[in-house]
Amino acid sequence: MSNLNQSLGEFIIENQNEFKYSSGELSRLINSIRLAAKMVNHKVNKAGLVDIVGKAGDTNIQGEDQQKLDVYANDVFVNGLVNREIVCGIASEEEDDFLSIKGRKGKNENKYVVLIDPLDGSSNIDVNVSVGTIFSIYHRISEVGTPVQLEDFLQPGNKQVAAGYIVYGTSTIFVYTTGHGVNGFTLNPAIGTYYLSHPNITFPDKGNIYSVNEGNYVHFPQGVKDYIKYCQKEEEDRPYTSRYIGSMVSDFHRNMLKGGIYFYPQTSQSPNGKLRLLYECNPLAFIAEQAGGKASDGFGRILDIKPTELHQRVPFFSGVKSMVEKAEEFMAHYT
């Protein structure tokens, strides 16, 4: 039975038997992410006091300008996972290719791969807006003891064994699932410990928030334009409230707690969408479904998409189940 005085470490140990590959490795893996997140949180909270804001001067594989905190967060999470020797491979939004990790004996003996967006919404750091980290964990499918393969990372989202995110905001919240519901833990900065603050998170049955970058309206498909007009129309339970932060983790987190839909559809400029399937959409889709919500590319389930490349992009609609289904109805009019 969970209680609000329970620490994240205690919660992981108490619930690890729910995990079908339980051997303590999952606990160590999530603990490693927890520690790295505290280090990133410390640096985020010092933004403006130290030379950590602004552009790093490089671009990532997607051609986007890397922020200094992007580079720092990537290094912290990668080094934390490598040094603890608990994963056989890592794929990061900030890296061109996946990293194959060898254990002490020079073999890839660990069972898990991690895919991570080290710092989602990092361009908002300069103006003190909440940012986050998103992670996804899979059980490797290549033979244990051999070098990790690309196929280990290109698994559909329905094969995830755990996923989560951290929001670095007015408080720092660690939210994750292992397929047995969604729980959130808030960091007590005085002692550096996460405590259960949001047990058994579920989306409300109905929502009244829609989150989309309406600056791209003219580039949206007609189905998306029609759905936005639906959200704005005055009816019994509408118009909905428009809320868009521009930090995916923050928008998703608010809508899961308050009730809403977040969508980043394809556009005429980005016909395949902009968000990364492996680092952003799959983990948040897993969390959404575990919280009673839904995640779609506008036509079908996100978690059923078979990835073809590490940095694949897809359209993304996620939130209250009925709201996502209504968006899909509008999209279906133009298929």
Alpha carbon separation from 186 to 174, 181, 254 (Å, rounded):
6, 17, 15
Give the span between the Cα atoms of 201 and 109, in whole angstroms. 35
State both tokens at 20. Answer: 């079908």
Q: What beta strand segments (E) does the chain contain?
A: 55-59, 65-67, 89-92, 99-100, 112-120, 131-139, 160-168, 172-177, 183-188, 193-198, 209-211, 241-242, 260-264, 275-276, 294-296, 313-314, 316-319
Say if residue 259 carries a ligand binding annotation.
no
Give the span between the Cα atoms of 171 and 164, in whole angstroms. 17
Say if residue 93 carries a ligand binding annotation.
yes
Under the phi-then-psi rule, with left for phi > 0, alpha for psi from -120 to 50, and beta for the rest, what region is 273?
A: left
What is the arrangement of strands in the sheet containing 89-92, beginning at the earlier edge strand?
A: 99-100, 89-92, 112-120, 131-139, 160-168, 172-177, 183-188, 193-198
Chain-centroid distance, C-alpha 117: 7
Q: Write the DSSP symbol of residue 280.
A: I
Say if residue 270 carries a ligand binding annotation.
no
Say if residue 213 carries a ligand binding annotation.
yes
Residue 298 CB partners (closer than 8 Å, separation 6+):
223, 224, 265, 266, 315, 317, 327, 328, 331
Say if residue 123 carries a ligand binding annotation.
yes
Q: For residue 315, which of 259, 286, 276, 268 has the smallest C-alpha distance?
A: 276
Contact yes or no for 85/105 (Cβ under 8 A)? no
Say if residue 122 carries a ligand binding annotation.
yes
Say if residue 234 carries a ligand binding annotation.
no
The angle at the Cα of 122, spanning 116 to 128, to the nearest 5 degrees, equals: 135
Say if residue 117 carries a ligand binding annotation.
yes
Say if residue 244 carries a ligand binding annotation.
yes
Q: Which residues are annotated as a binding site for substrate?
A: 120-123, 213, 244, 274
Q: Which residues are annotated as a binding site for Mg(2+)?
A: 93, 117, 119-120, 280
Q: Which residues are annotated as a binding site?
A: 93, 117, 119-123, 213, 244, 274, 280
